[in-house]
Amino acid sequence: MTNRSDFTANEMMTIAAARALSNDDVCFVGIGAPSAACNVARLTHAPDITLIYESGTIGTAPNVLPLSIGDGELCETAVTTVSVPEMFRYWLQGGRISIGFLGAAQIDRFGNINTTVIGDYRKPKVRLPGGGGAPEIATSCQEVFITMKQATRSMVETIDFYTSFGHGTGGDHRRRLGITTKGPTLLITDLAVWRPDPETKEFTVVSMHPGVDRNMIQETCGWTVRFSESVEETPPPSDLELTTLRELQARTERAHGGKKGN
């Protein structure tokens, strides 16, 4: 059995995110931490999960983590590959994808995501990779999971740019805009598992990872954290989960010379 000293916070985050996926899910996968979580799920408890990447690969089963959506590993292992317009129009906007799995450079308490710029848009401190397909994923997938490391610079009171719409200003903001999907329903960080409050839609801590306390969560978050009435402890990684993740990362390291996509 594993114990607290056997795994890192990043490994706990990835495995907790993987557990949220089921065998029947059709999942639109973001590059990086989401890709690691989705492939750990596929290699453990959800072998029949359908993983879809933005480049048009459907039912992909990569042996190593892709560096980008254009990584040949995705197309080579996919059941089929379709054009990007077909991917977005038929699969995504057609409502055929159950889970969108995204990362974020900045996020606010309502799950709105910024992956565009840090600072003023016209004179940014940092220009980020941009939205890609994430804005459409955020509105068209049945629900959205987000995974990221906690830091006050990334979990902020107000994001610098709205790249992907979460719950807006909270409450029924999505519905008032005519968006019928659920939006962000889960946030997994390296310290905790968060879910939106049913009424306000503000992300609330429902589970803390082993060895984490409330002060650690608050110190790495830029807004006043809400905790659910009964906060659980996230079960530590099993031997199978940890071995699967580490072997996946080792294969990726060997294949990409240290430029691993997670």
Query: CA-CA distances (angstroms) from residue 47 to 40, 44, 57, 60?
Result: 10, 7, 17, 12
**pLDDT > 50? residue 262:** no
Q: Which fold is adopted by the domain 4-256?
A: Glutaconate Coenzyme A-transferase (3.40.1080)
pLDDT for res 2: 44
Q: Give the model's confidence band at 44: pLDDT under 50 very low, under 70 low, under 90 confident, else very high.
A: very high
Beta-bridge partners for 188:
147, 193
Task: Give me the percent of the chain exceeding a pLDDT of 90.
Answer: 87
pLDDT for res 258: 53
pLDDT for res 121: 94
Paired tokens of 231: 């906060």
* Letter string b/e over residues 100-114, b meaning 16 or more CB atoms within 10 A of that residue's CB: bbbbbbbbbbbbbbb
Q: Give the model's confidence band at 3: pLDDT under 50 very low, under 70 low, under 90 confident, else very high.
A: very low
Task: Kindly name the residue from 11, 54, 136, 241 that is annotated as catalytic.
Answer: 54
pLDDT for res 32: 85
**pLDDT > 50? residue 142:** yes
Average pLDDT over residues 43-50: 97
Average pLDDT over residues 3-10: 76
pLDDT tens by residue, 174-230: 999 999 999 999 999 999 999 999 999 999 999 999 999 999 999 999 999 999 999
CA–CA separation, 106 and 84 (whole Å): 26
Is residue 54 annotated as part of the catalytic site, yes or no? yes
What does the angle CA 167 – CA 69 – CA 52 come to, to the nearest 5 degrees?
65
> Which residue ranges make up each domain of the chain?
4-256
pLDDT for res 259: 53
pLDDT for res 260: 44
- Picking from 178, 174, 179, 219, the residue whose alpha carbon sits closest to that of residue 200 is 174
Q: Which amino acid is at 23?
A: N
pLDDT for res 67: 87
13 Cβ contact list (under 8 Å, min separation 6) = 33, 147, 149, 188, 189, 190, 209
